[in-house]
Amino acid sequence: MASRNLLLLPGDGIGPEVIGQVRRVIDWLNQRANTGFECEKDLVGGSAYDAHGQAISDAAMDLAQSADAVILGAVGGPKWDGVAYEVRPEAGLLRLRKELGLFANLRPAICYPALADSSSLKRELIEGLDMMIVRELTGGVYFGEPKEIIDLGNGQKRGIDTQIYETYEIERIVRVAFDLARTRDGRVTSSEKRNVMKSGVLWHEVAVEVHSREYPDVELNHILADALAMQLVRAPKQFDVIVTDNLFGDILSDIAAMLTGSLGMLPSASLGAPDEKTGKRKALYEPVHGSAPDITGKGLANPIACIASFGMALRYSFDLGDEANMLDNAIAAVLARGLRTADLMGDGADPVGTVEMGDAILEEMERLAG
């Protein structure tokens, strides 16, 4: 059996706790489904800074380049608030995204039936919610140059970030959205702010061109990003696939995540282009939530987003759709049983901790494997 190489990057804060539960799922699959995963582990973020003075070492980057998939926990925390901008924890994540060419970030927002009452919106607005946000991840204002603070010499400074998109970057990300839509409900909503941004005008133009040339069977709509933010909290179920740029995608995906009950529920996949020879894509999987310094080390973190991110790896990197479905079903079953970590609490019930949630998911896997 060919081995499947994973690089685990637990990172900071609750990252190691949630990755610990992913590790148990991996071990279970190796034993019970003969999946042959081999894991390496390294540092990223503040923990890498503490060890090497860099947010990710070159050695860890080499491991990431050669892994079949990277599974990341979280980066950042107040401990590193004062470190230089170039080596801040987030720089490790951004380097991974950029150097692995992970331009397509998939952030599904699914409302598990059992969690419909955990959302801040009314049950009827989110019950059955199933949308996918496709966020461009290696361009836009995150990486555009110039990016600097200039001293103007008159007691004033000028901070500059640059939003840049070229045709090919928009083409390849909207193609990802159209391809996904074909496997779902067949509808794409493209979002920008072409009313004030030239990059938005180009985004819109390219989306329209790719659509009419290559995907006439898919429905394409356009919405300005501010209006999309409003629609996401007004009537989120109207959307199937949303495609948008790096910064708007960052903001809108946090809104979408919260609709589902908790930021602790949302997984993500970041994918590169298929390799010309092997067809394989570089890939990194991570929960959308951050490092949650307030609950770090207390055993309270919800491991579901990270476990579900590994589920996306099973699906998108390893073609293990059956195992991915099993994992998703195990998560749904545990929630249906009423287990809740603290982030998901309604009134009354007792929260379970990170390890107990992991235990319950493994029990359900065991039961489903029957």
Residues 238-257 that bind ligand IPM (CB under 6 A): 250
271 binds, among ligand IPM, Mg ion, none (CB under 5 to 8 A by kind): none
* Residue 341-370 contact track with Mg ion, rule CB under 5 A, x = bound: ------------------------------
Q: Among 112, 142, 215, 285, which one carries the catalytic annotation?
A: 142
How many residues line the site for ligand IPM (CB under 6 A)? 3
How many residues line the site for Mg ion (CB under 5 A)? 1
How far is residue 1's CA from residue 8's CA, in Å, rounded to a whole number?
Answer: 21
Nearest CB to ligand IPM, comparing residues 90 and 127? 90
Whether 254 is catalytic? yes
How far is residue 100's CA from residue 102's CA, in Å, rounded to a whole number?
Answer: 6
Q: Write out 288-338 in H/E/C secondary structure.
A: CCCCCHHHCCCCCCCCHHHHHHHHHHHHHCCCCHHHHHHHHHHHHHHHHCC
Nearest CB to Mg ion, comparing residues 133 and 352? 133
Largest interatomic CA distance in the chain: 73
Q: How far is the CB of 302 from ligand IPM (least distance, A)?
A: 17
Which residues fall within 8 angstroms of residue 301, CB to CB, at 6 or more apart? 14, 17, 18, 264, 292, 295, 341, 354
How far is residue 25's CA from residue 304's CA, in Å, rounded to a whole number?
Answer: 11
Whether 142 is catalytic? yes
For the chain, the first-to-last Cα distance in angstroms comes to: 24
DSSP 97: H
Q: How far is the CB of 16 from ligand IPM (least distance, A)?
A: 17
Whether 58 is catalytic? no
How far is residue 341's CA from residue 124's CA, in Å, rounded to a whole number?
Answer: 23
> 67: exposed, middle or buried (C-beta count within 10 Å: 0-12, 13-18, 19+)?
buried
* Pair of tokens at residue 66: 């050669």
127 binds, among ligand IPM, Mg ion, none (CB under 5 to 8 A by kind): none
Q: Which one among 250, 286, 323, 328 touches Mg ion, defined by CB under 5 A? A: 250
Q: Which one among 40, 90, 356, 359 touches ligand IPM, defined by CB under 6 A? A: 90
- Residue 3 three-state SS: coil
Nearest CB to ligand IPM, comparing residues 201 and 255? 255
| Residue 221 identity (one-letter amino acid) | N
Nearest CB to Mg ion, comparing residues 250 and 323? 250
Q: Which one among 48, 55, 93, 312 touches ligand IPM, defined by CB under 6 A? A: 93
Whether 117 is catalytic? no
Whether 322 is catalytic? no
Which residue's structure tokens are 């973020």? Answer: 45
Considering only 121-129, 235-243, 245-253, 319-327, which stretch makes contact with Mg ion by CB under 5 A? Answer: 245-253
* Residue 187-226 contact track with Mg ion, rule CB under 5 A, x = bound: ----------------------------------------
Which residue's structure tokens are 């309604």? Answer: 346
Residue ranges binding Mg ion (CB under 5 A): 250
Task: Catalogue the active-site residues.
Answer: 142, 193, 226, 250, 254
Residue ranges binding ligand IPM (CB under 6 A): 90, 93, 250
